[in-house]
Amino acid sequence: MRGFDWPSLMAAGLRGLRLRPADFWALTPAELQMILGQGAGAPALTRKGLDALLATYPDKTEGHEDERD
């Protein structure tokens, strides 16, 4: 059984995806694998793709009610 290559995973998450350390460590291995595009043939999430998701689904701002709640 092989262990995780933590240095490579941390570099991909923290430098490549620009995740904050708390966000990186909160991910499950399956979530990290999915974000990196490994597994089910899904393409890796790029910065451009993340920006598009953030534009489509912005975080709630204080004082504004989220329609999905």
Residue 69 falls inside a structural domain: no
What is the per-residue pLDDT for 26?
Answer: 94
Total tally of structural domains belonging to the chain: 1
Range of the domain at 51: 6-55
Residue 18 falls inside a structural domain: yes
Residue 64 falls inside a structural domain: no
9 three-class SS? helix
Two structure tokens written together for 52: 């598009």
pLDDT of the chain, 69 residues: tens digit per residue:
467 788 888 888 888 889 999 999 999 887 887 787 766 555 677 889 888 888 988 887 766 665 554
- Match 């570099």 to its residue by tokens: 11
Give exposure, 47-65, as e/b (b: 16+ Cβ within 10 Å): eeeeeeeeeeeeeeeeeee
Residue 15 falls inside a structural domain: yes
Residue 34 falls inside a structural domain: yes
Distance CA 39, CA 56 (A): 25
pTM reported for the whole predicted model: 0.49
